[in-house]
């Protein structure tokens, strides 16, 4: 009996120490027993700690050196979040998470996992978020995610998944999925309709940074509830109106970092409900008028890092009157914004034109109704009167915060600018009417160009005929007392004939004699201005029709 009491006393001393050791918080870890939270980020751990409170609900062991998830994980059955990202995990044994029935978030991103199967996630029936980003996975077999019936977000980005490695039944069993990330893989085509049909409730799809050869018309039509589509960095040369067929409810679209030679106005026009658009880092040089025609609900526009963009026309955003934020940054070739580019955007609150090649800005380019923030810094601005007035407007505008490029040289003051601008106005008042007059004269010449050409032509011919006649008269000097001798009719100058008979003559203008034709010698003596044969026999004529004026 005394021995039993002694043992009970010893156990009473030992158990508290044993209990404290089990609840020991490892070095470089932060343990909160009130919140049931343990954070061992960068704790230099190479295995899962076993001495933690079994009731913990959140366990973060990211940025460590863990290579395998051993059986110690079964002690933490109350977990709702487990983060093992940025470790050295190569493989996950089957049914590893069989005891984590309450787990809702599992982060295994940025490890070296190469294989997963439908046995990997057995027991995770309550899981909502699965993050496998940044691993070495190259194949997704059918029914892999079937145990995850309540899964809402799946991140498979930055792996090695090719189109041939994605099974048609890969997403079967996760019909409640809302967010799917497959960006930065090796996909050459958009997954087929049969592959995407089990997840037809998707709201967000990230499939950019894949070497897509193109996007077929209707490629996304089974995803009718899609509200966000990310196709950035996919090397797409263009998209067509059929590309977005079936997803007209889309609200956010990212087409940045592709190879568009022009803005795909027609393709975008079907997205009537689109609110956010990013289209930077493409190859088009101009943002022409009505580039985003049909996007009347657009609220946020972003255009960054385009190496070829040089110009934005005045009416580029004319049909997008609901814009609230415009970000046009880091386009070094962009040197010109036309007048009133943003003047029609009455609801514009945030405008960033930072780090472009803009040389001139003035207050008339903006709408000041709702503007709250303006960033025009890091541009090679000309410090002229227009920029001076803009800075003055920014400084005096109520509720507007701004960031602007400073001027190393002298910035004109208000009085100097008023004088210069008034001088420019006077010059314009003279130049504009002068240009109008010159234009009117040019139009008049163009309008009556036919009449002017005919007048000049006839004048030149009349002068030529007169000159020829004068020359002929001066070359023939009649002898005194002798009759003037004219050449036969058949040998008259062709010039006089052209001058006399240039106008076409009708049959009524001719008298034709068919009988008593003259067949004598070619030349006849001329007396008193008429050939001899005409004086001897006036009924004899040539067989050539003679105009009335010749008689």
For the stretch 414-430, pLDDT in tens is 555 765 556 666 666 66
Residue percentage of the chain with pLDDT more than 90:
58
Residue 43 pLDDT = 81
**Mean per-residue pLDDT for 137-159?**
97
Residue 186 falls inside a structural domain: no
Q: Report the predicted TM-score, pTM, of the whole model to 2 decimal places.
A: 0.72
Residue bearing tokens 């190393």: 408
* DSSP H or E stretch at residue 449: helix 449-475
**If you average pLDDT over residues 284-298, what whole number do you get?**
95
3 state SS of 107: strand
The residue among 178 and 454 whose pLDDT is bigger is: 178
> Domain boundary residue among 385, 410, 435?
410
SS3 per residue for 186-232: ECCCCCCHHHHHHHCCCCEEECCCCCCCCCCCCCCCCCCCCCEEECC
pLDDT > 80? residue 516? no
Neighbours of 409 (CB within 10 A): 6
Q: What is the DSSP letter of 166?
A: B
Q: Give the per-residue pLDDT at 214.
A: 87
Range of the domain at 324: 285-410
Please determine, for residue 523, whether its predicted confidence score (pLDDT) is greater than 60: no
pLDDT at 382 over 60: yes
Domain-embedded: residue 73: yes
Instruction: Give the single-character DSSP code of 131.
Output: E
Handedness of CA 63, 67, 72, 78 (dihedral sign): positive
Backbone angles phi, psi at 415, to 5 degrees: -70, -40
Residue 293 lies in a domain: yes
Reported as a pLDDT band with limits 50, 70 and 90, residue 162 is very high
**Mean of the pLDDT values across residues 251-279?**
96
What's 344-395 look like in SS3? Answer: CCCCCCEEECCCCCCCCCCHHHCCCCCCCEEEECCCCCCCCHHHHHHHHHHH
d(CA 180, CA 201): 11
pLDDT tens per residue across span 165-194: 999 999 999 999 999 999 999 999 999 999
The answer to the question of residue 445 being in a domain is no
Q: What pLDDT shows up at residue 271?
A: 95
CB 151 within 8 A of CB 145: yes
Query: Is residue 48 in some structural domain?
Result: yes
Q: How many CB atoms lie within 10 A of CB 151?
A: 25
Say if residue 513's pLDDT is above 50.
Answer: no
What local confidence, expressed as pLDDT, does residue 128 receive? Answer: 98
Instruction: Identify the domain boundary among 392, 410, 428.
Output: 410
Give yes or no for a contact between 200 and 222, defined as CB atoms under 8 angstroms apart: yes
Burial 11-34 (b: 16+ CB within 10 A, else e): eeeeeeeeeeeeeebbeebebeee
pLDDT of residue 121: 95
CATH number at residue 95: 3.80.10.10
When mean pLDDT is compared across 140-144, 466-470, 495-499, the lowest value belongs to: 495-499
Average pLDDT of 96-121?
A: 96
SS3 content of the chain, % helix, strand, coil (to 5): 25, 15, 60
Q: How far is CA 521 from CA 19, 531, 536, 539, in A?
A: 151, 12, 15, 17
Most confidently modeled range among 9-13, 357-361, 443-447, 486-490: 357-361
DSSP 420: H
CB 349 within 8 A of CB 326: no
How far lies 141's CA from each of 4, 166, 170, in Å? 61, 7, 6
Low-confidence winner among 252-261, 351-360, 455-464, 517-526 (lowest mean pLDDT) = 517-526
Instruction: Provide the pLDDT for residue 23.
Output: 57
The residues, ordered by sequence, that sit 6+ positions from 410 with a Cβ below 8 Å of its Cβ are 383
Provide the domain count of the chain. Answer: 2
The encoded tokens of residue 74 equal 């079964």
Residue 269 lies in a domain: no
Percent of the chain whose predicted confidence (pLDDT) is above 70: 75
CA neighbor of 254 nearest in space, from 279, 218, 223: 279
Lowest mean pLDDT among 123-127, 143-147, 220-224, 240-244: 240-244
Residues 6 or more apart from 223 whose CB is under 8 A from it?
A: 196, 199, 200, 202, 205, 246, 247
Nearest CA to 171 out of 136, 148, 200, 142 is that of 142
- Indicate whether 455 belongs to any domain: no
C-beta separation of 268 from 238 below 8 A: no
Q: Which of helix, strand or coil describes residue 460?
A: helix
Per-residue pLDDT for 60 more than 80? yes
Task: Quote the pLDDT of residue 442.
Answer: 85
For the segment 305-342, what is each residue's pLDDT rounded down to a tens digit? 999 999 999 999 999 999 999 999 999 999 988 888 99
Angle at the Cα of 271 (from 247 to 230), degrees rounded to 5? 65
- Determine which of 19-28, 132-141, 243-252 has the lowest per-residue pLDDT on average: 19-28
Of 383, 410, 437, the residue at which a domain comes to its end is: 410
């Amino acid at each position: 009996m005394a021995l039993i009491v002694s043992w009970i006393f010893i156990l009473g001393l030992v158990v508290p120490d044993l209990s404290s050791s089990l609840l020991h918080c490892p070095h470089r870890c932060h343990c909160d027993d009130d919140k049931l939270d343990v954070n061992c980020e960068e704790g230099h751990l190479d295995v899962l700690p076993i001495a933690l409170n079994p009731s913990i609900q959140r366990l973060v062991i990211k940025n460590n050196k863990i290579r395998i998830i051993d059986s110690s994980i079964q002690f933490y059955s109350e977990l709702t979040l487990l983060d093992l990202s940025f470790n050295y995990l190569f493989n996950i044994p089957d049914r590893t998470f069989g005891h984590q029935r309450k787990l809702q978030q599992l982060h295994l991103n940025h490890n070296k996992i190469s294989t997963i199967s439908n046995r990997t996630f057995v027991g995770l029936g309550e899981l909502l978020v699965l993050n496998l980003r940044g691993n070495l996975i190259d194949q997704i077999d059918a029914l892999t995610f079937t145990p995850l019936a309540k899964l809402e977000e799946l991140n498979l980005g930055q792996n090695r998944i090719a189109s041939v490695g994605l099974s048609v039944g890969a997403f079967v069993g996760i019909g409640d999925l809302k967010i799917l990330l497959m960006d930065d893989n090796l996909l050459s085509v958009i997954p087929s309709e049969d592959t995407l049909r089990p997840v037809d409730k998707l709201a967000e799809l990230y499939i950019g940074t894949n070497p897509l050869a193109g996007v077929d018309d209707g490629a996304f039509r089974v995803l009718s509830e899609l509200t966000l589509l990310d196709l950035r960095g996919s090397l797409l040369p263009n998209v067509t109106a059929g590309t977005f067929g079936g997803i007209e409810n889309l609200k956010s679209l990212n087409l940045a970092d592709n190879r568009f030679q022009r803005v795909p106005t027609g393709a975008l026009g079907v997205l009537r409900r689109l609110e956010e658009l990013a289209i930077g880092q493409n190859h088009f040089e101009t943002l022409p008028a009505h580039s985003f025609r049909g996007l009347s609900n657009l609220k946020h526009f972003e255009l960054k890092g385009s190496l070829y963009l040089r110009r934005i026309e005045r009416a580029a955003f004319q049909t997008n009157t609901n814009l609230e934020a415009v970000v046009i940054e880091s386009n070094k070739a962009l040197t010109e914004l036309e007048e009133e580019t943003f003047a029609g955007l009455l609801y514009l609150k945030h405008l960033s034109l930072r780090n472009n090649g803009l040389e001139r800005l003035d207050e008339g380019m903006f709408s000041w109704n709702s503007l709250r923030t303006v960033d025009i810094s890091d541009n090679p601005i000309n410090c002229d009167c227009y920029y001076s007035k803009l800075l003055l407007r920014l400084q005096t505008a109520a509720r507007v915060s701004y960031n602007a490029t400073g001027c190393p040289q002298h910035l004109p003051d208000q009085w100097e600018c008023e004088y210069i601008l008034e001088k420019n106005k006077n010059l314009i008042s003279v130049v504009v009417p002068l240009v109008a007059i010159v234009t009117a004269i040019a139009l008049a010449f163009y309008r009556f160009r036919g009449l002017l050409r005919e007048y000049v032509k006839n004048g030149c011919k009349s002068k030529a005929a007169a000159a020829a006649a004068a020359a002929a008269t001066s070359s023939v000097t009649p002898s005194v007392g002798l009759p003037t001798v004219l050449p036969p009719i058949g040998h008259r100058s062709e010039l006089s004939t052209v001058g006399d008979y240039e106008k076409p003559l009708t049959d009524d203008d001719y008298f034709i004699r068919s009988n008593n034709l003259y067949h004598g010698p070619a030349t006849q003596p001329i007396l008193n201005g008429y050939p001899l044969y005409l004086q001897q026999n006036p009924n004899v004529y040539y067989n050539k029709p003679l105009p009335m004026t010749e008689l």
